[in-house]
Amino acid sequence: MPRPRLLAHSLRSILCACALLTGTAAQAATAQDEQAWLNLTAMGPVTGNLIYFAEIQPRFGNGISQPDQTILRGAVGWKLSPRLSLYQGYAHIVLPTQGGRDINEERSFQQINWTIGKPWDGELSSRTRIEQRWRSDGDDMGWRLREMLRYEKPLKPGSEALNALVYAEAFVALNSTDWGQKAGFDQLRSFVGAEVKLMGKSTAEIGYLNQLVDQRGGNQRMNHVASITLFLRR
């Protein structure tokens, strides 16, 4: 029988080794990055119930040291009621590649915006989007469903000058493709920050966004994002 002190030392050594291996495995399985996302969106009525939005969204990654992707997206829609709108849109995405040609992604999408209600003196809304995706490095079309729940609440009762804002958006891939989309959970975005009222109906949203992305081989990527969005509303 080993002496108690030797046994305790051995157990501590085993636990330390297990902890080290677990931490190394977790670090290998989850890559992390600091990013900055900027979004400029113009939106408003065209005529009657016909509405639109158009946005440009540059994103910077690798410690905010280089472009990660650029999104150009627009849509036209129909306002069915003050609380419900339908859109058909299109997006062009440029994905820079180190030492090679950029990858281009094209998306068609359909979107439903719904103001659910005003619980706890705030506003709860939903955005449902289904996308059809094509990429220049493959031939297949990928289908993806996105669902966002958003809640904002004035920090000062009776004033909309500054609102607390939180939202979560889940992405689910509906099929697998030859360019890398894998059917199932794709990513989750969680945001916490503030909405600041600007001139007229325009607003700015500033805060922290956490992006958890599922990747091949059971690995994940977690991006810590400084997010700034400017909505220019007519």
Instruction: Render pLDDT for 27-64 as a digit per residue (tens, 0 to 9).
Output: 547 899 999 999 999 999 999 999 999 999 999 999 99
**pLDDT, tens digit, 9 for 90 and up, residues 106-126:** 999 999 999 999 999 999 999
Confidence of residue 9 (pLDDT cuts 50, 70, 90): low
Task: Check residue 215 and report its DSSP letter.
Answer: -
* Neighbouring C-beta atoms of residue 89, cutoff 10 Å: 20
Comparing 128 with 3, which gets the higher pLDDT?
Answer: 128
Say how far apart CA 52 and CA 83 lie, in whole Å: 16
- Asked if residues 171 and 148 have their Cβ atoms less than 8 Å apart, the reply is no
Kindly state the percentage of the chain with pLDDT values over 90. 81
Write down all domains in the chain, each with its CATH number in brackets. Answer: 4-233 (2.40.160.40)
Confidence of residue 87 (pLDDT cuts 50, 70, 90): very high
Say how far apart CA 217 and CA 81 lie, in whole Å: 45
Q: Give the per-residue pLDDT at 43.
A: 98
**pLDDT, tens digit, 9 for 90 and up, residues 163-176:** 999 999 999 999 99
Q: Which long-range contacts (CB under 8 A, 24 or more apart) does 199-204 make?
A: 200/233, 201/233, 201/234, 202/230, 202/231, 202/232, 202/233, 203/230, 203/231, 203/233, 204/228, 204/229, 204/230, 204/231
Mean pLDDT of the chain: 90
